[in-house]
Amino acid sequence: MEKNTSEMKMAKLDKSSEKASQFKEMFGMLIKNRAALVGMIIIIFLVIIALIGKFIEPFDPNVGQLSESLQAPSSAHLLGTDEQGRDILSRIIDGTSISLRVGVTSVTFALTIGIILGSIAGYYGKRVDMIIMRIMDMILAFPSLLLAIAFMTALGRGIDKAIIAISIVTIPEYARIVRSSILSIKESEYVQAARVIGNRDSAIIFKHILPNVISPIVVRATLGISSAILDTAALGFLGLGVQPPAAEWGSMLGSGRTYFFNAPHIVLFPGIAITITVLAFNLFGDGLRDALDPKLRN
């Protein structure tokens, strides 16, 4: 009995050390990818800005003086002021937390629902699979931004509504990835063995199948954050997303486009912020995909 217990402990230690070795190898490959490393550094920087932004903003991002409106970048206002005299640097810093919050929250919600629906469809198949995936196909039949606008029109404006709208239109992407991954391995020997020893379906799905298909899900979620940030900016540009006076990069573009020829800095700097953020998540997602691919690691 003691011998069996010691053997089980040794097996667990070997398994944990193997996982640690794989993680170390994956992280090392990710670091060697310069583009992914740059993306990761930018993301870490943005997260820090989002956390401490309130303490480093030079001015109140929602309060301005009309007498200082449309000022070009200067020592007083490093990125200039907008049409209401508000400091653009302060608004971009404040908008960082909004964009990241919408991106991460909407992806988390869509990923959770997508994993559940995709797991049910892929594992049970037949009529359940047909019903779920036809609903997903109906959602995918519409352009995501157009469908998000429709949801925003029905739900109303605001950051919470934007999160819900963006989440709903991206659920099918995660559901299809999970379904296809489960279909490819649900007849594997270890899954069959789990069925034979009497494991419940939920245990088989979440303990034996999903951990082995997590790589494509993580990569798609990382890339999905950049798409969610773009959709948030597009909704804000159209006046359907985050409402004034809250500082959101897309709404800053929308309100400043009228003054583009007189004061181009109003739209230039929010546009740069959107571009850098989306590019960072895309670079990191591509590097993460390569690092999680065992063929490329070998």
Tens digits of residue pLDDT in 205-257: 777 788 777 888 888 888 899 999 998 888 888 888 777 778 889 888 988 88
- Tokens linked to 275: 């571009």
Is the pLDDT reported for residue 166 higher than 80? Answer: yes
Residue-wise DSSP of 19-84: HHHHHHHHHHHHHH-HHHHHHHHHHHHHHHHHHHHHHH-SS-TT---GGGTTPPS-SSSTT-B-TT
pLDDT of residue 51: 92
Q: Is the pLDDT of residue 294 over 60?
A: no
**CA 132 to CA 137: how far, in whole Å?**
9
User: What is the pLDDT of the chain when averaged over all its residues?
Assistant: 83
Tell me the average pLDDT across 150-155.
Answer: 85
Q: What are phi and psi of 78, to 5 degrees?
A: -60, -35
Residue 91 has pLDDT above 60, yes or no: yes
Model pLDDT, residue 19:
56
In percent, how much of the chain has pLDDT > 70? 90
Is residue 113's pLDDT more than 70?
yes
Which residues on neighbouring strands pair with residue 81, listed in sequence order? 87
**135-144 per-residue burial string, b: 16 or more CB within 10 A, e: under 16:** ebeebbeeeb
- pLDDT at residue number 79: 92
Higher pLDDT, 136 or 202: 136
Number of residues that this document lists for the chain: 298
Encoded amino acid at 21, one letter: S
pLDDT given for residue 12 in this prediction: 45
42-63+77-297 placed in CATH 1.10.3720.10: yes
pLDDT score for 93:
94
Tens digits of residue pLDDT in 8-45: 444 444 445 555 566 677 777 777 888 888 999 999 99
CA distance 169 to 148: 6
8 compared with 201, residue with greater pLDDT: 201
pLDDT of residue 18: 52
Cβ distance 135 to 179 under 8 Å? no
Q: Residue 6 above 60 pLDDT?
A: no
Q: How far apart are CA 209 and CA 195, in angstroms?
A: 12
What would the two tokens of residue 284 be? 């990191």
117 pLDDT band, cuts 50/70/90, is very high
> Which amino acid, 7?
E
Enumerate the H helices of the chain as residue ranges.
Answer: 2-32, 34-56, 88-124, 126-140, 144-155, 159-185, 189-196, 201-203, 214-237, 249-256, 265-292, 294-297
Percent of the chain with pLDDT over 90: 29
* pLDDT attached to residue 3: 47
pTM of the model: 0.84
Residue 81: closest CA among 194, 247, 211, 208: 247
Beta bridge partners of 87: 81
End-to-end CA distance of the chain: 39
What tokens does 238 get?
């159209």
Count CB-CB contacts under 10 A for residue 186: 19
- Supply the pLDDT for residue 111: 92
